[in-house]
């Protein structure tokens, strides 16, 4: 979603438009029209938090959004914040531990 709203406005937008609960424990990411700015809103058990980041150079890489929702793994989310191409990030695969030698 594209927005310039403060935390309270984003929380209301989440409730009314998305039917989402800002206190659910999920992190909601909003972007500005310019792809160099994002805002995150989340609950930290004491209140609603707003995190904003504006890049001095470059832009955030965004996936294609379907149905107005984008779901990212923890690794992809971290890559988004670090301004990496999250589409190239993969979750580590679990290594199988052998049950017997040989």
In tens digits, the chain (102 residues) has pLDDT values of: 445 567 777 788 778 877 888 778 888 888 878 888 888 888 888 888 888 899 998 888 776 666 767 777 788 788 888 887 766 666 667 777 777 776
Cα separation, 39 vs 31, in Å, equals: 6
Q: In the prediction, which pLDDT does 2 show?
A: 47
Q: In the prediction, which pLDDT does 28 show?
A: 84
Q: Per this entry, what is the length of the chain?
A: 102
- For the whole model, what pTM was predicted? 0.65
Q: In the prediction, which pLDDT does 10 show?
A: 79
- 68 alpha-carbon distance from chain centroid: 13
Q: Are 60 and 38 in contact (CB under 8 A)?
A: yes
Q: In the prediction, which pLDDT does 71 show?
A: 76
Buried b (16+ CB within 10 A) or exposed e, 66-81: eeeeeeeeeebbebbe
Delimit the domains of the chain by residue range: 7-88
């Amino acid at each position: 979603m594209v927005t310039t709203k403060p935390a309270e406005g984003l929380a209301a937008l989440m409730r009314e438009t998305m039917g989402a609960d800002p206190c659910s424990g999920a992190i909601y990411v909003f972007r500005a029209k310019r792809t160099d700015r994002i805002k995150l809103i989340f609950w930290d058990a004491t209140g609603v938090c707003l995190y904003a980041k504006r890049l001095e150079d470059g832009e955030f890489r965004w996936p294609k959004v379907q149905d107005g929702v984008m779901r990212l793994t923890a690794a992809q989310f971290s890559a988004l914040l670090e301004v990496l191409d999250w589409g190239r990030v993969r979750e580590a695969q679990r290594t199988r531990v052998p049950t017997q030698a040989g």
